[in-house]
Amino acid sequence: MSEKRQFFGTDGVRAVANRHPMTPEFVLRLGQAAATILGNRTEGGERPRAIIGRDTRASGEMLEAALVAGLNSAGVDVVLAGMIPTPAVAMLAAQSGANFGVIVSASHNPFEDNGIKFVHGNGRKLNDQTELAIEKIVLGNAEEAIRPEGRGIGRVSRMTDSVERYVAHAVASMGGVRLDGMRVALDNAHGAASYTSALALEQLGADVQVFHSEPDGFNINEECGCTHSEELERLVRQSQAQAGIAHDGDADRIALCDEEAIALDGDELMAIAAESMLRKGTLKQNTLAVTIMSNYGLDDLVSRLGGRVIRTNVGDRYVLEEMNSRGLNLGGEQSGHIIFGDWASTGDGLIAGLQVLKIMKETGEPLSQLRKCLKKFPQSSRNLRVRSKPPITDLTEAQKIIKETEKKLGNYGRVLLRYSGTESLIRLLIEGRDVEYLEAQADRIASAILAQIG
């Protein structure tokens, strides 16, 4: 794409709360711009409607108020759904016929940060072009935004059953399979899942041991949640659970831990799900969508079962775009954004966790056994500090070694080289079956890069 977004990243706008761009003034303006782009008016002249949900950060109250003011001033009615997970907002927007949904959250970031992300009325994330259109209005003249008067000004209401509706949806995804007798350790990261995940698991009959589920506005993600797998492993040992589940702050991600207190990554979860769905014949197009960061062991597993893997850029939004364009129903990221498309239009930590627990029940196998379906290819990685970032194709000596390496690896490995989007780093990853060869080639490529731009 020729134009670069200034505020939107891979998952909305995110920054330290009350510091530009995450100030009330900016968020108000962002709400007006979003209303202009996403709030299509009906022929009857009815005001558009948006659903807002947020995580448990203290700054969410301030930013939600600014967002409401911006949307109302642009003629959008707002329905406040309260503190609920990101996927719940997507689901409620689609179920209720809203024009769009908004989530006030900074996901797995510390409590000082906050963010704003949008979904269309069908629950799907915005593409780059739509985010650019919103940014142009934010950066343009105030007159560009819709500014009605009188009866055209938006109103505010509250959804009192948002938690119940989302929990019922998650429970329904189990198709009648119950979890009676299964002990689950649940780490809610003091985030939005504190109000939903335990309810769903309890309704399904699980023995739920709940941890980190007392949000105070400041403890979200604090040494807990899915980015702290060591804590989940400790909780599983402590509670002698058959499985552990951890969410991030807005519960669109998940980490699972087996009964031996060893955490699984997103690749292992997708492998378990893909194998089950391929054997049942429920994986649409026999295809799994992942990012370029996923281990090639997934390709090996899925191809042996008669399916295939397709890869996208890093970011679950790009996985979702590929799934939507191809009509797929399973995809995700190594980081734990797992999308079960039959039940969710975005990453959903609760539904992903339930689907894996369902496979455990159906097969009678523990997670420690199920995870063995994925034979990960060895990897060698380097994070190299650089003084400049010329096009990667201009790294001539490194490119020669990369081509030599790719030829040697063939269909059983890969070389991935990309710049960090936030630091003066270039990241190198080589994957294949021969560890010694991978290490040697990684050193050769790293040396060539450092000689040119280190």
Hey, which residues are catalytic here?
107
> For the chain, what's the residue count?
454
State residue 47 phi and psi, 5-degree precision: -70, 140
Read off the amino acid at residue 270: M
In angstroms, the first-to-last Cα distance of the chain is 28
For CA atoms 418, 419, 421, 422, give the dihedral sign.
positive
250 labeled binding residue: yes
Report the C-alpha gap between 165 and 443 in whole angstroms.
53
CA 181 to chain centre: 30
Tokens of 195: 């109000």
Tell me if 180 is assigned to a ligand binding site.
no
Cα 414 to Cα 330, 377, 408, 417: the distances in Å are 23, 10, 10, 10
Which residues, in sequence order, are CB contacts of 364 under 8 Å at separation 6+? none
Q: Residue 248, annotated ligand binder?
A: yes
Contacts of 275 (CB under 8 A, 6+ apart): 301, 305, 373
Q: Taking the CA atoms of the chain, what radius of gyration do you get in angstroms? A: 23
Sign, CA torsion 360/363/366/370: negative
For strand 254-257 and strand 243-247, is the pairing parallel, antiparallel, or unpaired? antiparallel
CA distances (Å), origin 44, targets 35, 40, 41:
18, 12, 8
77-83 β-sheet, strand order? 8-9, 12-16, 113-120, 100-104, 49-54, 77-83, 156-158
Residues in Cβ contact with 151 at an 8 Å cutoff, skipping those fewer than 6 apart: none
CA-to-CA distance for 409 and 415, rounded, in angstroms? Answer: 9
The dihedral built from the CA positions of residue 117, 122, 127 and 132, taken in this order, carries a sign that is negative
Give the pair of three-digit tokens for residue 334: 């190594």
| Residues whose CB is less than 8 angstroms from the CB of residue 149 and which lie 6 or more positions away in sequence, other chains included | none
161 is in an annotated binding site: no
Binding site members: 107, 248, 250, 252
Please enumerate, by residue number, every residue annotated as part of a binding site for Mg(2+).
107, 248, 250, 252
